Structure 1
Amino acid sequence: MENSEISLNLDLRSEILEKSLYTENSINNLLMGHLGIFDKEKTKNFGNKAGISFKSKTDLLYDLNILTKEEVLDLELQMIFRNKFLHDLNFNSFEYAINKLDKGLINKLAKFIDNNEEKNIEKNIGKLI
């Protein structure tokens, strides 16, 4: 499929980006609060030139018993979808994304869905964003 034929679905991509930005900001604030850091502009790890990856932040929150294993899994899935939708033109719908996931990600997604009452994949993925 040529680039000119791909529907970008900017509404969905914008929603995913917006939710991801709020999630990352919340994770930063949660971690900074537990570490006693109150001015993120004066740190190397939480300011504009953040040095700690999102995954490392969630892992640290898990190690500190602030996040559960399930919460870390939810956040990892959210970032996987965020990266797919924001870095790959072809990822313009959840249906496409689900069909392109590798087996390891499908297993993670299945665990996420098993942890929710509703078993509808589309509705559960929507809860990630």
Structure 2
Amino acid sequence: MKVNKIHHVAIICSDYEKSKKFYVNTIGCEIINETYRAEKKSYKLDLLVGGAYQLELFSFPKSPLRQSYPEARGLRHLAFEVDDIDQAIEELSNDNIFVEPIRVDEITGKRFTFFCDPDDLPLEIYEK
């Protein structure tokens, strides 16, 4: 098998409107398409990240919780590259989003930090 790239990352949220606002207004994703699937009582929101990557935001009634912190098996976190980590942290903090202290990648020497989306999904910002 030859894989070309990651096509999308799918996220299931508990509060669709809250998560939509977070990923569009706070993270800066662009809406590609929004679909309400009445038979599933579910929204599917396709979002564009950085002009090249896609997130899919889903809502399902009564979706179960998933353990995600600390070091649970499965997807560990979703990382976004930023040009200026200090500016990104300031913008997140201005939206009352708690951001962990900056760390330095011991392999690359790049700065990074973590914060959470409205459902406590761990997100990372990694300085270019």
Instruction: Output the TM-score relative to the length of structure 2.
Output: 0.30
**RCO higher in structure (CA 8 A, sep ≥6):** 1
